[in-house]
Structure 1
Amino acid sequence: MEYSIGIDIGGTKIAAGIVSKNGNVLTKKVFSTPQETRDSIIQLLENIIFTLTETAAIEGKKLIGIGIGTAGQIDFERGKVLSGTANIKDWNDVPLREILSKKTDLPVYIENDVNVLALAEQQFGAGQHVKDLICLALGTGVGGGIISGGNMIRGAWGGGAELGHITVDMNGPVCNCGFKGCLETYASGTGIARMMKEELKAYGAIEGNSEFLYYQKHPEEVTSQLVFELMRAGNELAMKVVETSINALSYAIVSFIHTFNPTQIVLGGGVLQDGEWFIQRVREQVSTMGIRSLVNPVEIKMTQLGNEAGLIGAAIQPWVYGGKTEEIHQ
């Protein structure tokens, strides 16, 4: 059987492993993402590749390639990170394939992190055998991946599918991309925490509620996880914030359906700790909106591969693309 090395680069951790053609993760290691310099990250990647290559040789496993998923705008053809993320140190204009190819004889594929998430779910998860799907990852930000007619949609050079930066409110808050009212400002963990802080500030003094008074004085401790905890406890401010997030996400999903005519929407990411409840509310909202012939047939599902989706999606690139940069094999 053939195997590949998969590497999923995130702002806080890097997951790497040896993965089989059918998506089984045989060996997995997780490392903290170096915060010092770009070179420290690259050095870690080189060490990972060396170690896993040695492991495969010892165990008699034939490696056919290396697949990497990373946040940012990726020039897929050149294997280069053009514009990265603030969570990864100096992750801009990085010729990653060129650098790593000097350390290995294996072909190296570099892809956007949510694109590989979509790829994994389409091959082995919620979207198996679906040729038209959209994947949204709700985490610190909101990322998107689009497969249409069996093809990954990347745009002119790979920067397409930045679905978190569609505007859902032209008078909304300024996003970190510089635009106003982006989906990311409402449906990401950062956006949910921001809205809760604003609600607490606007509410004024809350007599007799020591917990609220504490978070009014310490807004830096407000997280999206806290908002969901307060919502489950029946807190009206938290409920308002979560509903606002669901509304924004639902409007965006309907816009994506109108634009790309998918048969499935797959949602994942750390924000979905309440999982099925959250997605059911999105389904309910979406079902009342948009062009019926487009919206009604679309399934909205949660990712099935969990935390390993990024690693699996990164790893299967040598088989999926196999030198053909566009066609996704069924």
Structure 2
Amino acid sequence: MVTLKDIAEKTNLSVTTVSRVVNFNDTSICSEESQKLIWSLVESMNYKVKNKKPKPSKDGDTQGGYKLAYVLGQSSYAAQGSYGYHIIKGIESETVKSGSSISFNCLNLDLYKPEELCDRLLESGVHAVVWVAGTEEEYLNMLKNKHIQVTVAGIEPSYFPEHVDYVGVDFYPETLKWLKTKFVNQFERVGYIGPTYSSRYEAFVDANKILDKKVDPAFIVAHDEWDAGAAKTAMSAYLEGNNQLPEAFFAASDIIAIGAMNAFRDHGIQVPEKVKILGFDNNEMAAYLTPGLTTIGVPTFEIGVMAVQAAISRLKEDRGFPVRYILPTRFVERQTL
């Protein structure tokens, strides 16, 4: 099967250049002579054009739809399952609804170096990528250099380039709002479990400051992982080394809260009688725990839907500038708080 890479090798041009000519009819990226050579090779090598950009009809709708991709950029969110799953479910649902298609997906970024990922996207004829979680600068810079459009969806970005669209929640103010009104103000002694580099931890510290309460370092269970096993291990070590508990813990995610609750159970500590706990994101498992986990809910499915809408809007050239769609969170009351 002939690929763009095969054509690029015969022309001494990059895969990106060949893709822009073949898939996007880009006449500015190389000379007219090079374009003629590329098209002659496309014909003589029987290459099937995968990414002929859809043309708008008279009523403005796009005929044939766009080819989209999604990339889960942080493996820990794959382990969390529910959070990334519901964003992806929203992406797939809206893509089909819009008459477009998913031409490529990546649930394990470790499989690809930045250039390899871009080559796969170009080979798949992708018009735009929805990037879920773990925004790595090297990858996003490479995507920009390869002229691949990106929309970042739903996860607190570690790197956030100005040229991309973003659809998600504003993590710090949303967390601060609920911690001030539903958590820190309810108790004299509160603790935290999770990564301390997260804006959720910053919001926890600031909520205490705003309410004139001190953060007790003895009640901070810090660990860098976002999975239940690491949270259980960290909380178990904490419980074995401390005789005193706070009245309640704020967990940086529901998965972390679930790990902590497992540690409480193993040490004979009842929730919420002996210690209370608040989660974050409203993982679908949270409602099925005993007791049910009180949490701050993130509209993950809607984030996926709006990410696709944003990507298609940019592709249709409805606008030539990046947008930020910030969705509200909600407080989900169950039995752990």
TM range, smaller chain: 0.3 to 0.5
Structure whose CA Rg is larger: 2
Give the structure-2-normalised TM-score.
Answer: 0.40
Give the structure-1-normalised TM-score.
Answer: 0.40
Q: Which has the higher contact order (CA 8 A, sep 6+)?
A: 1
Structure with a larger share of its residues in strand: 1
